[in-house]
Amino acid sequence: MDVFSARKVIKEALLHTYGTVYEYDVCFVLKYCFGLSSCWAASTDIGDIWVQKVARDIRQGIPIQYICGIEEFKGKPFLVFPGVFIPREETEDLVDIAIDAVPRGSRILEIGVGTGVISISLLMSRRDIMAMGVDINPLAVINTFTNARRFEVDSRLQLYHADVFSLIEMPMSFDFVLSNPPYLPDSDRLTIDELVSKEPESALYGGFTGVEFIHKVIDILIKTGFHGGLLFEFDDTTQHYLRSHEKMSVSRVKYYKDRFGKERFALVWL
Ligand SMILES: C[S@@+](CC[C@H](N)C(=O)[O-])C[C@H]1O[C@@H](n2cnc3c(N)ncnc32)[C@H](O)[C@@H]1O
């Protein structure tokens, strides 16, 4: 099938599932599912069966990042395994804040690495730091390890497959904590977007109001005598629940907006 016809088939499939088609998504599929260097590589021939399979997967509501196995993050193609949280673009802003906020020579702990985009991007920008990452999802740990090798930062990233709430009580040393934790309220399960529902539940829901997970992280860090920064992402609609924790209402907390103007990140010094 020529590229023109493949574009048409993919566009129709995207329109069927999403109701609208963005040129970016069409190009994304052509680039990462069919390996085209350009969206308009007119002379290239793509196997019919392959195009039909991708179109079928799109129509079935499988996210294109799972179909192609890639998501771009800060301009770099990260591998995304089905069953692992798909990185969101606003998380790039968390990395930018971290690049400025993490003190020189720090050893960071990332809670919930997913595909590894946060730690790996930070390690690529800041050669002076080391990182440890933990995730309860074994696929996420393998996914992060693969990406760390891909971007050659694996020698500075130690990974653990564990529940952070058991790991954090072990004698480990770190002086800055980063997380894009599960933060949706449990009630969102009833209204969740069909595409988002394809992602693992453990990556999405943070408890009854959504902030219980991060509150528990704060409590456990305090209990272990941690002194340092904690930078994390949250859902702006839950901010008032977030502030109900005594550590989140003091003046030492700095809130940041994301690129869409939503209050999305908090940096607290414990
Ligand atoms: C919202 S995703 C963020 C993934 C990645 N950091 C990113 O920003 O794309 C949250 C991650 O936390 C992990 N997670 C959930 N509960 C956890 C726990 N108790 N211990 C460790 N990781 C956990 C999930 O498996 C998931 O990978």
Query: What pLDDT, in 10s, does the model give residues 199-251?
Result: 999 999 999 999 999 999 999 999 999 999 999 999 999 988 998 888 887 76
Verify that 32 and 118 share a domain, yes or no.
no
b/e map 192-223, b = 16+ CB within 10 Å:
beebeebbbeebbbbbebbbbbbbbbbebbee
Structure tokens at 134: 């933990």
User: Could you tell me if residue 74 is inside a domain?
Assistant: no
- Which ranges of 45-153 would DSSP assign to H, the alpha helix? 48-59, 64-68, 91-101, 117-125, 138-150
pLDDT tens digits, 128-178: 999 999 999 999 999 999 999 999 999 999 999 999 998 777 777 899 999
User: Could you tell me if residue 230 is inside a domain?
Assistant: yes
Structure tokens at 206: 């943070």
Listed residues 20, 36, 68: the one ending a domain: 68
User: In degrees to the nearest 10, what's the CA dihedral of 88, 89, 94, 98?
Assistant: 110
User: Could you tell me if residue 104 is inside a domain?
Assistant: yes
pTM: 0.95
Say yes or no: CB of residue 201 within 6 Å of ligand 1.
Answer: no
Mean pLDDT calculated for residue range 53-67: 96
Cα(163) to ligand 1 centroid in Å equals 10
Q: Read off the pLDDT band of 42 (50, 70, 90).
A: low
Verify that 157 and 257 share a domain, yes or no.
yes
Atom of ligand 1 nearest to the CA of 110: 6
User: From atom 11 of ligand 1, which residue's Cα is the shortest distance away?
Assistant: 112
Which of the 8 DSSP states describes residue 19?
S
User: Could you tell me if residue 78 is inside a domain?
Assistant: no
β-sheet bridge partners, residue 255: 266
- For residues 185 and 223, what is the distance between their CA atoms, to the nearest angstrom? 25
User: From atom 27 of ligand 1, which residue's Cα is the shortest distance away?
Assistant: 114
Q: How many folded domains does the chain comprise?
A: 2
Cα(44) to ligand 1 centroid in Å equals 39
Cα(115) to ligand 1 centroid in Å equals 9
Place of tokens 């992060």: 144
Q: Which helix (H) or strand (E) holds 225?
A: none
Q: Which domain holds residue 8?
A: 3-68
pLDDT at 171: 72
Backbone angles phi, psi at 190, to 5 degrees: -75, -25
Verify that 14 and 143 share a domain, yes or no.
no
What CATH number is attached to the domain comprising 122? 3.40.50.150
- Ligand 1 pocket, mutate which of 72, 135, 196 (most atoms under 8 A from CB): 135
User: Could you tell me if residue 80 is inside a domain?
Assistant: no
Most confident by average pLDDT, 1-5, 173-177, 250-254: 173-177
pLDDT at 219: 94
Residue type (1 letter), 145: F
Verify that 45 and 109 share a domain, yes or no.
no
38 has pLDDT over 90: no
